[in-house]
A and B are shown apart, each in its own frame.
Chain A
Amino acid sequence: MTDCEVAAKPPAEVKVAPKSREGIINPMYDCQPAGAQYAGIGVTDCIPLVHGGQGCSMFVRLLFAQHFKENFDIASTSLHEESAVFGGAKRIEDGVMVLAKRYPNLRVIPIITTCSTEVIGDDIEGTINLCNRALKKEFPEREIFLAPVHTPSFKGSQVTGYSECVKSLVKTIAKKGEPTGKLNLFPGWINPGDVTLLKRYLKEMGVDATLFMDTENFDSPMLPDKSIEIQGRTTVEELRDSANASATVALARYEGASAGEYLKKEFDVPFHLLSTPYGIHNTDEMLRTISELTGKEIPESLVRERGIALDALADLAHMFFANKKVAIYGHPDLVIGLAEFCLEVELEPALLLLGDDQSSKYKKDPRIKALKDKVNFDMEVVLNADLWELERRITSGELKVDLIMGHSKGRYISIYNNIPMVRVGFPTFDRAGLYRKPTLGYQGAMELGEAIANALFAHMEYNKDKEWILNTW
């Protein structure tokens, strides 16, 4: 580019607007009850009870099985026609008692509503009172927590549903007691690989913290004794003591931060909302904040890990990534975090898709404002988006992207338009083992960067497009 051309280049334009269509073609998110079920299975000895038609839990269980290649226990009240007419509260009572009787270790049942039961208007709180009395009578020795989770499918999405269930579990179980000196960490809807990474960081720092929800066991083994360990690791005791922590750190604005706000309001637990730790800078901020809050030093091991990640990414950024256009879709905290990471490695996130009806919140997100100030290329943020927004732009030639980052529901856009894609987020059922790979932290940034590079490299080879560059790399 000559100086004249540079001078003539118009300033970068950043557009943030909802899609113009009302209906949806290829959704990015599932509905609220799906997200609530995901939060529910993160708790030990917990079986969520979905109050609605059988499909509302059956297909969500299948979705989780597709992503994790594991089975999760989720029950349904099996709403049938007569309940739709006369009310279905009795089916909650039946469902709770059947679960309690047949699962002697059961300690928590989130009762998750759906569109049908919210329209019918079943009295969930009143029914829970009835159930509690019946449980006390039947099982005087047991304490079973029933958490009301109002998640009508016609509001929000799986993202808000997740948040709603985390909050309800905390509200139902948290109880003032002796201070624990521990940190509450709400990381949001993340994979077991990221849970393992965060727990390792905390351990290396010597920080005593509790992760809500601890989904590490969602990657579960085949053992010689044939035992089945697939359930969340967050316990009733941990939820109870969330009220007695020294502070709460939330790593996802839209996924569980509301529980931290509740703990602050109700139990005066100091609350810190951080940017989701995608990329180097966000990870720096997380570690520094945790260090400040706990007085624990950031150890040499993490300084080295940071260095290794930078060293690896430096091999990729200006040689292979610079000026490559990226489209990103998925959960809002993920999409924004990945966009921030892209900027660090010189990728250009040209299109960000955020779904659902929470546009007014996304518009006010300081991270989106910061992105707007930062970018020196045209960027579009589509709110209330669906995947057709991406497909239409690509097939019409309106947008040219070099890379797609998102979950498996958009796989056909990549396949049929010959665009390399890195699967990230939920669900990623068309790639093996991704739930085990970290995407957060320094290691996650490095592994994501390498996944991007390898996707681009494979694409160069399949298309015989300057694949010889790699002869000497």
Chain B
Amino acid sequence: MPMVLLNCDKDIPEREKHIYLKAPDEDTREFLPLSNAPTIPGTLSERGCAFCGAKLVIGGVLKDTIQMIHGPIGCAYDTWHTKRYPTDNGHFNMKYVWSTDMKENHIVFGGEKRLEKSIHEAFDEMPEIKRMIVYTTCPTALIGDDVKAVAKRVMAERPDVDIFTVECPGFSGVSQSKGHHVLNIGWINEKVGTLDAEITSPYTMNFIGDFNIQGDTQLLQTYWDRLGIQVISHFTGNGTYDDLRRMHQAQLNVVNCARSSGYIANELKKQYGIPRLDIDSWGFNYMAEGIRKICAFFGIEERGEQLIAEEYAKWKPQLDWYKERLKGTKMAIWTGGPRLWHWTKSVEDDLGVEVVAMSSKFGHEEDFEKVIARGREGTYYIDDGNELEFFEIIDLVKPDVIFTGPRVGELVKKLHIPYVNGHGYHNGPYMGFEGFVNLARDMYNAVHNPLKGLAGIDIRQPRSGAASNGKKEAA
């Protein structure tokens, strides 16, 4: 019974291996959804490509770095204005994207000269910017352009600039996950240890795997400031290129997103002996637990308790107000991967919300181990879910709200199911104590949206007593 073959998948029975319905007393060693496996062509999967995993998710977050995409124009165009990661310097990272705009003759004769010219042009046009990441794409990888050699030549000519190259074309791996890996490993091997930081605190750490979605990083930074912990580098929310070259100097690596950024934390442990501490930054229980662990590491437990007490005093009453009203809400989570295990238990513990179905685009086996351990029985756990499967799962679990991307959100709107942006958030930040109140508020406003009730009314039918279910109270 545990692995599920949906009706819509009768012609692609191999999908059964990817969908798990958790039942009591089962051994997840036997029933782990197959993940990080190739997508079946034509299934309308939700997955992106490896290039976007590197550029859009990690590298493109940096606030002081030119993102030079070596390929045709689409790869640049498509990974621009699709993310909500502000910075404290006027959002340089969201305003611009750079492309070598490869044409057919470059495909035939090679694109290295075009790349070199484009790099110089970019630095000339923006003389205050001295850092760059160069990405290959499908065609430039296929023709074998040596981007590393080009970067070296430019750096020799321009001693004040530094360039990092990422070679992960869209077709590599099976999803964006491959791009995370390539960027992580490339960075530790080539750039970490090439600059030193000014140490201003006896307690130093890197905060890894948080991309400042709607200000997450900046909110959490207020905690670290209050605790007196120096964050050497943020990988990569509101981060700078040079701070990431100084990662080797931290005493501790705190990891939020273990999927996209666990690799570099592991390498920092291996190469520099820096311990790795995984925390969950979403949710009251989890955030408090994370702060306690970090403070215990540094021996500053009292400061931690004080911070938690202050934050609870300020935000817990608001959270509880929402919990009272959200209790029993059925939620589905269709996002990248890690948010499944970050959120399933935190919304249950902190808000009384039941997560009834979850789908991951690029999670690996270890992500499913975590989410199945933390998640509820009777809940569906899906790898690489596709559109028809979503419809069928909605029929089976009837969620009140779905946390997913805006495109799928538009689709489920037609089914009168509200969505909350599970990637870029509706009105975040969602991390930290204040952030989780924001999440609760957005979920409450979605679930109690009066339009949802109106949508179900057919005005050709006689009036019925069942008026709008959008009863809302002032928060």
Contact = CB atoms under 8 A, between A and B. Distances in A.
B128 interface: no
Interface string B396-426: 0000000001111011011110000000000
Contact of A55 (B51, B90, B101, B455): B51
A160 B280 CA distance: 47
Given A22-B114, A73-B44, A78-B41, A154 B102 contact: yes
A244 B60 CA distance: 51
A55 B76 CA distance: 11
Nearest to B460: A224
A59 B82 contact: yes
Nearest to A355: B73
Interface in A215-233: 220, 222-228, 230
A25 B122 contact: yes
A61 B125 contact: no
B161 interface: no
Interface string B73-92: 11111111110000000100
A99 B38 contact: no
A359 interface: no
B117 interface: yes
Interface residues of B, number: 81
A44 to B, nearest CB: 17
Nearest to A79: B171
Given A409-B80, A409-B81, A98 B42 contact: yes
Contacts of A157: 73
Contact of B406 (A60, A62, A78): A62
Interface stretch (B136-144, B258-266, B336-344): B136-144
Interface string B84-115: 00000010000111111111101100000010
A91 B43 CA distance: 12
Given A22-B121, A75-B42, A98-B40, A62 B407 contact: yes
B73 A392 contact: no
A101 interface: yes
B122 to A, nearest CB: 6
B46 interface: yes
A84 B50 CA distance: 14
B103 A357 contact: yes
B142 A30 contact: no
Interface stretch (B172-180, B370-378, B436-444): B172-180
Contacts of A25: 96-98, 122, 125
B39 interface: yes
A259 B413 CA distance: 36
Given A65-B410, A157-B73, A226 B44 contact: no
Nearest to B178: A81
Interface stretch (A46-54, A178-186, A234-242): A46-54
Nearest to B66: A25
Contacts of A95: 41-42
A154 B139 contact: yes
A52 B117 contact: no
B385 to A, nearest CB: 14
Contacts of B75: 31, 55, 153
Interface of B: 8, 11-12, 38-52, 68, 71-82, 90, 95-104, 106-107, 114, 117-119, 121-122, 125, 137-139, 141-143, 169-175, 387-388, 405-408, 410-411, 413-416, 451, 455-458
Interface of A: 21-27, 29-34, 47, 49, 52-56, 58-63, 65-66, 69-71, 73-81, 83-84, 91-92, 94-99, 101-102, 114-116, 119-120, 152-155, 157, 220, 222-228, 230, 357, 388, 392, 408-409, 412, 416, 429
Among all A-B residue pairs, the 4 with the closest Cβ atoms: A23-B118, A31-B74, A53-B170, A55-B49
